[in-house]
Amino acid sequence: MTVCIYKNNKIVTDSRCTYQGDYVISDKFKKVGYIYECLSTGARSLRPENLVHPTFFAMYCLAGMPEQVPKFLRWFIEQPHPDIDDELNECFNDPVLTFDPDDAALQIMVVFKDYDIVRLYSSNYEQHVYIDFKQDDCITIGSGGIAALAIHSYDPSAEPEAIIKSVIDTVNSCGGDVITLEFDSDLYNYNITYAEEKLTFSEKCKNLWKKCTK
C-alpha cells in the first residue's frame, strides 16, 4: 500500500492508502510523524505542547494497516526500549519468537535521534521483536520497498525524494504526494512558544489584539 525509505538522515514516503493493495482510499494519507521527549523528566509524547522542555526523540513511518498505528504509538511512548533506555533493560522480558503470517500486515520504521539506530517493527512489536540497522544504511518498507531498494542499488547517489517519485511512476499501489521528514533545530525555538502558553487567558487576548492592530 505504500513505499517508505530512510536515506541521508531523512524519511521519505508517498501518501497513498489502499485497500488490499487494489483500491485507492486516499492519496493524502500521512504515514510519518515525530515522537518527542521531555529533557527534564524523560516523558514522551506525540505533541511537544504536552511537554515542558520538548526535544526530538524519534521519527517514524508506517506501512500496512493504518488502524493499528494508534495502538503502536501508545505502546511505543509508554514502553522502555532496549539499547535506548539502558537503565531499564532489566525490565525487558525475553521475547517469544513466533511465526505469524499476519506479521507482514504492519511494518513500522523508527529512527532514534540521538542513537545510531533505525529500528524496524512488525505486528509482533509488543514482544520487542525488531531488526536494527545503522543510520548510514538505506532502508525501505512497504509494497514499493523492493523497487526503491533496487533503484538505490542501481544509483546509490540518488536522493530519496527522487527514488520515491520513480517508484510512484512504476508501482500501482504507491502514489500521491512525496512527504519528507527529518530532524532539525526548529523545535528548540518551540520552548519560546510554549512559554507563552503559560499566560492567562486575558493576557493572551491582549497579546493577540496587539498583533492584530500593528
Kindly list the domain boundaries of the chain, sorted by start residue.
4-212
The single-letter DSSP state of residue 45 is: E
pLDDT of residue 103 exceeding 70 = no
pLDDT band at 139 (very low <50, low <70, confident <90, very high): very high
pLDDT of residue 71 exceeding 60 = yes
The single-letter DSSP state of residue 188 is: G
CATH topology of domain 4-212: Glutamine Phosphoribosylpyrophosphate, subunit 1, domain 1 (3.60.20)
Question: What is the chain's mean pLDDT, rounded?
Answer: 80
- Count of alpha carbons within 13 angstroms of residue 108, beta-carbon side: 29
pLDDT of residue 163 exceeding 90 = yes
Q: Rounded distance, CA 199 to CA 183, Å?
A: 29
Q: How confident is the model at residue 198, as a pLDDT? A: 45
pLDDT of residue 58 exceeding 60 = yes
More confident residue, 130 or 205: 130
Q: How confident is the model at residue 172, as a pLDDT? A: 81
Q: How confident is the model at residue 26, as a pLDDT? A: 77
Are 86 and 132 in contact by the 8 Å Cβ rule? The answer is no
What tens digit of pLDDT does each residue of 76-102 get?
Answer: 999 999 888 865 455 545 544 443 444
Q: How far is CA 183 from CA 7, 112, 124, 138, in A?
A: 13, 10, 27, 17
pLDDT of residue 120 exceeding 70 = yes
Q: How confident is the model at residue 86, as a pLDDT? A: 67
